[in-house]
Structure 1
Amino acid sequence: MDEQALLGLNPNADSDFRQRALAYFEQLKISPDAWQVCAEALAQRTYSDDHIKFFCFQVLEHQVKYKYSELTTVQQQLIRETLISWLQAQMLNPQPEKTFIRNKAAQVFALLFVTEYLTKWPKFFFDILSVVDLNPRGVDLYLRVLMAIDSELVDRDVVHTLEEARRNTLIKDTMREQCIPNLVESWYQILQNYQYTNSEVTCQCLEVVGAYVSWIDLSLIANDRFINMLLGHMSIEVLREEACDCLFEIVNKGMDPVDKMKLVESLCQVLQSAGFFSIDQVSKFLYKKLIGSKLNIMFSSLFFFFSLPKSRVSGKPWFSGPFAVETRVHYIILVLFFETVSLLAGTIGTCHNARLFFGQVIVMADLSFQRLEILICEQEERSYSAYYKRTEYGEDEAMFVEYRKQLKLLLDRLAQVSPELLLASVGRVFSSTLQNWQTTRFMDVEVAIRLLYMLAEALPVSHGAHFSGDVSKASALQDMMRTLVTSGVSSYQHTSVTLEFFETVVRYEKFFTVEPQHIPCVLMAFLDHRGLRHSSAKVRSRTAYLFSRFVKSLNKQMNPFIEDILNRIQDLLELSPPENGYQSLLSSADQLFIYETAGVLIVNSEYPAERKQALMRNLLAPLMEKFKILLEKLMLAQDEERQASLADCLNHAVGFASRTSKAFSNKQTVKQCGCSEVYLDCLQTFLPALSCPLQKDILRSGVRTFLHRMIICLEEEVLPFIPSASEHMLKDCEAKDLQEFIPLINQITAKFKVQVSPFLQQMFMPLLRAIFEVLLRPAEENDQCAALEKQMLRRSYFAFLQTVTGSGMSAVIANQGADNVERVLVTVIQGAVEYPDPIAQKTCFIILSKLVELWGGKDGPVGFADFVYKHIVPACFLAPLKQTFDLADAQTVLALSECAVTLKTIHLRRGPECVQYLQQEYLPSLQVAPEIIQEFCQALQQPDAKVFKNYLKVFFQRAKP
């Protein structure tokens, strides 16, 4: 061999040597007899370098895989003898070969096996076994060869030709007849001899058993001696995982469902009798690996079995009577009881299938349903007990919450079958737990309340139907709710119980409409240390939201408690300036709910308007006073950080006032409640913030939001404030400021229409100039953020024009002077044609069609008819013909639809003149064939607009290259 070339096989060799080694390998592959040199080197152990030995095996592999048929019988015999000689040498070698060499040797053995087993080497396995005996190094190689053969014959990831697939099937059939029992016996002997002395070899053997069991006679493996040995391996930590994998492959073997059912049950019985369903006897790892992901397949098999048609299972003696079914249910519940988060995640699929399973079981057998219900209730308790001990939300808890969702699906399924029994079962668990809640673990108390909470969605009828004003007719659900609110469990010192209590009383608010005497005690729970003043910020935050919901849903029952509640929450409404160092109990986000709640109490009260006004002023006056003080401080502040904190606090004040207005409705308007004056005072207080040069983004945003609300609540009373506010908001504008300001103007225009016409006339061009100035500002070519801001502003601008034209205010545009009108119209044409933004294009075509409808007749503005033919008609063709106009995009199709509407509107307003222009001037200028022009004009004149829309899409699909 070329010794210099072999130097390049060393990983540390330089690139020249490596290139020479690669070239040498290619040379040996095409040489007719070079492989013999490699075979001789392996048989005589000429080289000690691992990389050279690997190289020799690679050359042999290539010869066997691609050129074996070209060899003579003598040469083929030489390869067999070389491999056997090498194998014999391993028995005497003082050091075992490196793993990568053993793996490569196994691959060569496997290739030779599939080539010669059916013809020239039928005693392949016997020859190898006679060499290796029980020598650990020989056994290691033997097992590697078996795995390599399995890869060649069975591996589904390997793509085989039809000829290879037929060959592999024939080999497996022959092996089953001639040698599989011997191989199985060799595996048993290996496992028995090495299970305590050589874990590596034992694990290899278990892997082999798991691989081969899919296509050999199952009875050779699924018998007492093998299963008992596997159970023994599960008790040995280093063997545990492979034993679980092996058992999984046994159960996963394809077979008749009835036979699978027998196998699963027999294995379950063996595992249970051996104590492997007891969480105290095996490590958590075992349950994670064995039950969580492997034995899951057993229980999936149970579900599959029960989903079969009755004819497939009827008459089977092993499926007779309720006991057999309950036994199977017992196995399911055992799986559902295991207590690790990893396990729970692993059995989610099982739980999903269990929904169908329980329905099938109940139909097919006389199962004790009550026993099943109790087991499910117990499962909720057990699954909770070990894993809901954290106060912080993490990944494990997220997995647990997801698992609980799956368990809830089981409860829903059970409720569909027998809601009465479900109510009774949950009632027993709930009542027995709450009777002694003071001495019961928190997880048990929480689970009991949780089960009550879940009944609302599980029960097939609205939970409101379960509550009656007649105590003698009260349902189990009403009894449980009475127990919940009178037991004192709201005082339990654990956040999970507290939260579950409040979640449940809010979910079953209809209970309090039939038993309102319990409202005061629940309100106190919300308002004291159990709720809004709890030591946990998490509880306070969630309670703020739930309290808001509770008051809203029971607003008619709140009247006797309104002023007491407002007094008790007064300190929670405090605006916390940054300089006082006071840490509020609630965050600003939580305070929003409290302000909204206060507003709901006032607005929905039975008080006269004067009293409502007084209460609303008492609520909002402190905000207005603090706002004035903080705004003065902001104007004088020098430190940027202090400026930001003051602006943030001012924004919160505006937000709180805005949130109180959520309480008003069509039935209870601001004017009817006598509160207009209070909100007008708020407007006068907040609007000066628009002229503040500091922190203008956050201040403008807050005031703008408040204006949106006041337009809805105060209606025309807000109009005097709009011009001044708009003037301030248009100063020193950025793209984002304008983009957020335009919806306010749109709202005013759409709501008040002619009433705001003078205002729109005045501010129309200043607004447009501000927009154009921002759009024309130069920006860096690759500044994606600036490009997106301009795109969004352009959309807002077109949306503004659409609102003006669509609200009957087109005169606002027409009165801006001829030059300005033309400039506006040109921007709309540009939006329809030049910018590849289908959303903006659609809006532009809507504007154009509306303007044509309004101005396109004989009495339209001077020069508009010419504009229609010079610009609008061409836009309807130029835009769809652009390459960026993608007719496969849904938004673009909508834009094309509006383009069709524009053309139809032009035809309706201009009549035959439009058709004549298209036929004689415009379409010929586009080089459109005469027959297509005729076809187009006929479609345009169709009375059904939908026909023309469909035609236009086809027209442009044909026209575009």
Structure 2
Amino acid sequence: MDEQALLGLNPNADARYRQRAMAYFEQLKESQDAWEVCAEALAKGIYNDDHVKFFCFQVLEHQIKFRHAGLSAPQQQLIRECLMKWLQCQLISPQPEKSFIRNKAAQVLALTFVMEYLTLWPKFFFDILSLVGSNPHGVDIYLRTLMAIDAEVVDRDIMHSPEETRRNTLIKDSMREQCIPHLVESWFQILQTYQQSHPELTCLCLEVVGAYVSWIDLNLIANDRFVNLLLSQMSMDELREEACDCLFEIVNKGMDPVDKTKLVESLCQVLQTAGFFNVDQEEDVDFLAKFSRLINGMGLSLVQSWTKLAKAGSVKEATDTLQALEAKVPLLLQLLVHEDDDISANMVGFCYDYLHVLKQLPQLTDQQKTNIEALMLAVMKKLTYDDEYNFENEGEDEAMFVEYRKQLKMLLDRLAQVSPELLLEAVRRVFTNTMQNWQSSPFMEVEVAIRLVYMLGEALPASHGAHFSGDTAKTNALQDMMRTLVSCGVSSYQHSSVALEFFETVVRYDKFFLVEPQHIPNVLMAFLDQRGLRHNSPKVRSRVAYLFSRFIKTLHKHMNAFIEDILTRIQDLLALAPPENGFPALLTSDDQLFMFETAGILIVNGESPVERKQAMMRSLLTPLMEAFGLLLAKLLQETEEESQVALADLLSHAVGFASRTSKAFSNKQTVKQCGCTEVYRDCLQTFLPALSCPVQKGVLRSSVRSFLHRMIICLEEEVLPFVPSASEHMLKDCEAKDLQEFIPLISQITAKFKRHVSPFLQQIFMPLVLAIFEVLARPAEDNDQTAALEKQMLRRSYFSFIQTVTGSGMNEVMANQGAENIEQVVFTIIQGAVDFPDPIAQKTCFIILSKLVELWGGKDCMVGFPDFIYKNIVPACFMAPLKQTFDLSDAQTVLTLSECAVTLKMIHLKRGPEFIQFLQQEYLPSLQVSPEISQELCHVLQEPDVKVLKTYLKAFFQQARL
């Protein structure tokens, strides 16, 4: 072997040697017989270096995996002999190989087994077992090989081809017939022999049994001697977890429901007798995690059996199984309330499915009701935070608890389905007791009590969605709890989790305040003072900003008396720049967006006269405009990039805040009706100069463009005078992304104002089109994926824009661009339909072509357009679908073909028999289409229903491309 190349196998070797080793590996893989050197090196134990041994196994693995069928019989024999010789060496070696080498060897043995067991090596297991005997090193390789065979043949997580699946089924069938009883016997002997001396081997063997039990005869394992051995190992510290896992796999095996119930019951009886059900006395949480998984598996198996038996109408057997199931509930509860969340979480599946069983029963017994109440209390207890939860800096443990809480919420929802009355009563009891003593209760108890009320909102059936109408019992209970929540003073509790839960619950049940509006002032104060928006936790302040906007949206009709007071109190929270006093701002700019929206809603929806609304909106927006003017001037002077970025961000926020206030307007309360047109026009006047700012263009243009979008909706025609100058600025020095984002703005204006903007559109049309052409024509690196994607998106936006113009009934916009310009534009549409493999853009192009034919292709046609139809549009309808890139199995492409059919139909509608004649006599013969097919196509084209043509064209092009 190339000793120099082998040096590169060492992880610490330099890059040159490592590259040489890689090249050598590829050379050995591709060679017909060079791998034999590796096989021999392993068989004779020539190398001591672990990396070289691993390398040899890798070369061998490649041969077996990819070239086995091409090897000669002697070569296949050589592989078998070398592997057995290597195994023989392990038996006499004082030290076992490193674990990673043993795993790789097992993998290679397993691959050889898969390739040869059915044909060349039926005695595979007997050969290995007779060779290794009771040698621990040999037994270790044997067990690892079994696990590797499981991965190759059985593991359901690995995708197999149909051929591999057939082969694997044959292998399993042959193993069941020929050797499984012998293998099971070997496992029993290993488990018995090594449990004291080599616990690691015993654990590996237990893993093997667990893996194989799913597809072998269960009676070979689920018998007295095996189960007794497993139970004895459940009491051995080093083996108990693996023994538990093994029992779990046995219980999980698919089988007849009656037999499954018997198996579970017999195992339970033995485990109970052996004292394993005394969970409180067990201190080993790792073992209990495994044990809880086993009990969960048993519970789920019983539920499954009950479901099958109940469906089959086997009343007695179903009753017996239900009894067996109910007998496990005390153990389920013990494990569910265990202080370790992993142990508890393992029981959620069993608990959930047990409740599903109860839900299906016609009537609940007293014992079942007691079980439900016990489960409720268990869930409530487990929902509680522990002392160590870090609210200010949540890490992995906290994230895991949040996930676990979601599982508990599922249980609570299921409990509500089984017995809403019991759940409501249990929550009410816990909540009332806690709220009576909230001052002296630990935060976690107070938080969970409020949390439970919050969770009822989703847990109670949807028919009580309003929560404060309908079912009197529920309504009264919830109303009582909400009244207590907002009046008992708990909003002053100092812990952030309680504060958050208070506000979340108030907003979830905001309809309560429609029924009892007298509580609104108290809750408003909580939102506005140190309990909410001025809380010492940034997390609370941030969430409350959002919740406050939700609260105001729902209850704005009840806010009239408080509007001015609220606006005064939140004034400092609406400041654009952070305070100069060195303290950080109370809210982030994202939170401030909600505050501006809230202020807008209060002003717009209040009952003040128009003049007052106008004054309030002006006093809300004027500070933003003033600050904007100063900051823009400062930005133009600034040379430091970091400061430029900070200033541009502030400018962008100012525009965003003003934009957000406009969300308060509606069809009932328009900008005009509220007297706010002028102030928003002033905003436009203030913000538009930022479009010509030479620094931080991207940020500024993006925010002003978004504001224009909002103003087109809110200001109606009042926005139009600002559009030409804004467009002119946005078309200067633009990139693909700028244009792509500018086009929707023009499309929005076109679609909304139509004829009003026709003169402007005629004026801007070619400058915009030429700007797009210029950007698309810019050279880019071949492998620049970002640039390619940006161009593709721009192309789509361009076609979208043309579609909007042609579809808005403004024929004159394009018609008045001059013949040369029109031709240039229409050619790009033809190009988009045919040349670019982008079905979304192609579909748009065919829609445009169809529209142009409709506009210009009839009797009063544009000069020269019929000629253009025949020379360009008709060929496009055939050339595009004939391209290999036109994938007719893709849904988007099929939609493109539909539009192509619509275009052809439109040409026929406008040009009539002349078009049919052109197809039959000139165009289709040029494509070598037979006269019969031509006639057929033309016949379908004349059918009144376009669907017939769509279906026909798909078949036509599929056939044409064969």
TM-score range, shorter chain: 0.7 to 0.9
The residue aligned with 1:336 is 336
Matched, 1:247 2:250: no
In the TM superposition, what are the counterparts of 1:723-734 in structure 2 within 5 Å? 723-734=724-735
For 2:638 and 2:173, the matched residues in 1 are separated by: 87
Contact 2:467 2:474 in 1 (8 A): no
The residue aligned with 1:498 is 499
**Shift of the alpha carbon at 1:596?**
0.1
**Shift of the alpha carbon at 1:658?**
0.4
Instruction: Describe the shift of the 1:144–1:770 C-alpha distance in structure 2 as closer, same or farther (beyond 3 A).
Output: closer
**Shift of the alpha carbon at 1:173?**
8.9
In the TM superposition, what are the counterparts of 1:823-862 in structure 2 within 5 Å? 823-862=824-863
**1:677 is matched by which residue type in structure 2?**
E
Instruction: Describe the shift of the 1:563–1:538 C-alpha distance in structure 2 as closer, same or farther (beyond 3 A).
Output: same
**1:556 is matched by which residue type in structure 2?**
K
In the TM superposition, what are the counterparts of 1:96-135 in structure 2 within 5 Å? none
Instruction: Describe the shift of the 1:505–1:154 C-alpha distance in structure 2 as closer, same or farther (beyond 3 A).
Output: closer
Instruction: Describe the shift of the 1:871–1:207 C-alpha distance in structure 2 as closer, same or farther (beyond 3 A).
Output: closer
**Shift of the alpha carbon at 1:169?**
4.1
For 1:272 and 1:528, the matched residues in 2 are separated by: 58
The residue aligned with 2:320 is 319
Contact 2:373 2:426 in 1 (8 A): yes
**2:300 is matched by which residue type in structure 1?**
S
Cα deviations by residue, 1:493-528 (Å, 9 ceiling, x for unpaired) = 222222122111111111111011111111111111
Cα deviations by residue, 1:434-485 (Å, 9 ceiling, x for unpaired) = 2222222322222222222122222223445442599999521211211221
**Shift of the alpha carbon at 1:569?**
0.7
Instruction: Describe the shift of the 1:319–1:758 C-alpha distance in structure 2 as closer, same or farther (beyond 3 A).
Output: same
**Shift of the alpha carbon at 1:592?**
0.2
Task: Count matched residues.
Answer: 889
Match of 1:218 among 217, 222, 227: 222
Instruction: Describe the shift of the 1:98–1:880 C-alpha distance in structure 2 as closer, same or farther (beyond 3 A).
Output: closer
Instruction: Describe the shift of the 1:147–1:626 C-alpha distance in structure 2 as closer, same or farther (beyond 3 A).
Output: closer
Cα deviations by residue, 1:362-415 (Å, 9 ceiling, x for unpaired) = 758664325413422432322544498122344444443333333333333332
For 1:567 and 1:24, the matched residues in 2 are separated by: 87
Contact 1:742 1:797 in 2 (8 A): yes
SS of the aligned residue for 1:315 comes to helix
For 1:723 and 1:24, the matched residues in 2 are separated by: 79
Instruction: Describe the shift of the 1:280–1:494 C-alpha distance in structure 2 as closer, same or farther (beyond 3 A).
Output: farther
RMSD: 4.7
**Shift of the alpha carbon at 1:157?**
3.9
The residue aligned with 2:390 is 390
SS of the aligned residue for 1:218 comes to coil
The residue aligned with 1:305 is 305
Matched, 1:376 2:376: yes
- Between structure 1 and structure 2, the one with the greater Rg is 1
In the TM superposition, what are the counterparts of 1:860-939 in structure 2 within 5 Å? 860-939=861-940
For 1:827 and 1:49, the matched residues in 2 are separated by: 66
For 1:228 and 1:94, the matched residues in 2 are separated by: 34
**Shift of the alpha carbon at 1:728?**
1.3
For 2:151 and 2:763, the matched residues in 1 are separated by: 82
For 1:331 and 1:878, the matched residues in 2 are separated by: 72
**1:230 is matched by which residue type in structure 2?**
Q
**Shift of the alpha carbon at 1:679?**
0.7
**Shift of the alpha carbon at 1:565?**
0.9
SS of the aligned residue for 2:751 comes to helix
Matched, 1:232 2:238: no
**1:879 is matched by which residue type in structure 2?**
A
Contact 2:574 2:596 in 1 (8 A): yes
SS of the aligned residue for 1:767 comes to helix
Contact 1:469 1:515 in 2 (8 A): no
For 1:803 and 1:21, the matched residues in 2 are separated by: 67
Instruction: Describe the shift of the 1:283–1:928 C-alpha distance in structure 2 as closer, same or farther (beyond 3 A).
Output: same
In the TM superposition, what are the counterparts of 1:86-485 in structure 2 within 5 Å? 157=154, 168-169=175-176, 190=193, 195=196, 199-200=199-200, 203=203, 214-216=218-220, 218-221=222-225, 226=229, 229-233=232-236, 236=237, 238-252=238-252, 256-265=256-265, 267-268=267-268, 271=271, 274=275, 278=279, 281-292=282-293, 294-310=294-310, 314-315=315-316, 319=320, 326-343=326-343, 346=346, 349-350=349-350, 353-360=353-360, 367-386=367-386, 389-391=389-391, 392-467=393-468, 474-485=475-486
The residue aligned with 2:17 is none
Cα deviations by residue, 1:133-178 (Å, 9 ceiling, x for unpaired) = xxxx7678679778979999999549979997676445569769xx
Instruction: Describe the shift of the 1:387–1:807 C-alpha distance in structure 2 as closer, same or farther (beyond 3 A).
Output: farther
For 1:153 and 1:586, the matched residues in 2 are separated by: 57
**Shift of the alpha carbon at 1:308?**
2.5
**1:232 is matched by which residue type in structure 2?**
S
The residue aligned with 1:584 is 585
Task: Between 463-472 and 640-649, report the one with greater CA deviation.
Answer: 463-472
**Shift of the alpha carbon at 1:257?**
3.1
For 1:153 and 1:564, the matched residues in 2 are separated by: 72
**Shift of the alpha carbon at 1:226?**
3.9
For 2:627 and 2:864, the matched residues in 1 are separated by: 57
The residue aligned with 2:3 is none
Task: Between 735-744 and 356-365, report the one with greater CA deviation.
Answer: 356-365
Contact 2:574 2:595 in 1 (8 A): yes
Contact 2:705 2:745 in 1 (8 A): yes
Instruction: Describe the shift of the 1:388–1:835 C-alpha distance in structure 2 as closer, same or farther (beyond 3 A).
Output: farther
For 1:49 and 1:651, the matched residues in 2 are separated by: 63
- TM-score of the pair, normalised by structure 2: 0.81
- TM-score of the pair, normalised by structure 1: 0.82
Contact 2:651 2:700 in 1 (8 A): yes
**1:216 is matched by which residue type in structure 2?**
L
In the TM superposition, what are the counterparts of 1:530-679 in structure 2 within 5 Å? 530-576=531-577, 581-679=582-680
Instruction: Describe the shift of the 1:371–1:909 C-alpha distance in structure 2 as closer, same or farther (beyond 3 A).
Output: same
For 1:765 and 1:114, the matched residues in 2 are separated by: 74
SS of the aligned residue for 1:754 comes to helix
The residue aligned with 1:736 is 737
SS of the aligned residue for 1:585 comes to coil
The residue aligned with 1:818 is 819
**Shift of the alpha carbon at 1:941?**
0.9
Cα deviations by residue, 1:732-757 (Å, 9 ceiling, x for unpaired) = 11211111111111111111111111
For 1:510 and 1:726, the matched residues in 2 are separated by: 46
**1:389 is matched by which residue type in structure 2?**
Y
Instruction: Describe the shift of the 1:908–1:226 C-alpha distance in structure 2 as closer, same or farther (beyond 3 A).
Output: same
For 2:212 and 2:471, the matched residues in 1 are separated by: 69
Task: Between 462-471 and 619-628, report the one with greater CA deviation.
Answer: 462-471
Task: Between 327-336 and 943-952, report the one with greater CA deviation.
Answer: 327-336
Cα deviations by residue, 1:583-605 (Å, 9 ceiling, x for unpaired) = 21110010000000000011111
The residue aligned with 1:489 is 490
The residue aligned with 1:33 is none
Instruction: Describe the shift of the 1:241–1:189 C-alpha distance in structure 2 as closer, same or farther (beyond 3 A).
Output: closer
**Shift of the alpha carbon at 1:617?**
0.8
**Shift of the alpha carbon at 1:613?**
0.6
**1:218 is matched by which residue type in structure 2?**
A
Provide structure 2 residue ranges, at least 5 long, that are not aligned to the other structure: 1-5, 11-20, 57-63, 65-72, 74-80, 156-163
Instruction: Describe the shift of the 1:755–1:256 C-alpha distance in structure 2 as closer, same or farther (beyond 3 A).
Output: closer
SS of the aligned residue for 2:235 comes to helix
Task: Between 389-398 and 504-513, report the one with greater CA deviation.
Answer: 389-398
Instruction: Describe the shift of the 1:173–1:281 C-alpha distance in structure 2 as closer, same or farther (beyond 3 A).
Output: closer
Task: Between 627-636 and 827-836, report the one with greater CA deviation.
Answer: 827-836
Cα deviations by residue, 1:789-822 (Å, 9 ceiling, x for unpaired) = 2222121111111111111112011112222122
Contact 1:388 1:443 in 2 (8 A): no
**Shift of the alpha carbon at 1:711?**
0.8
SS of the aligned residue for 2:316 comes to coil
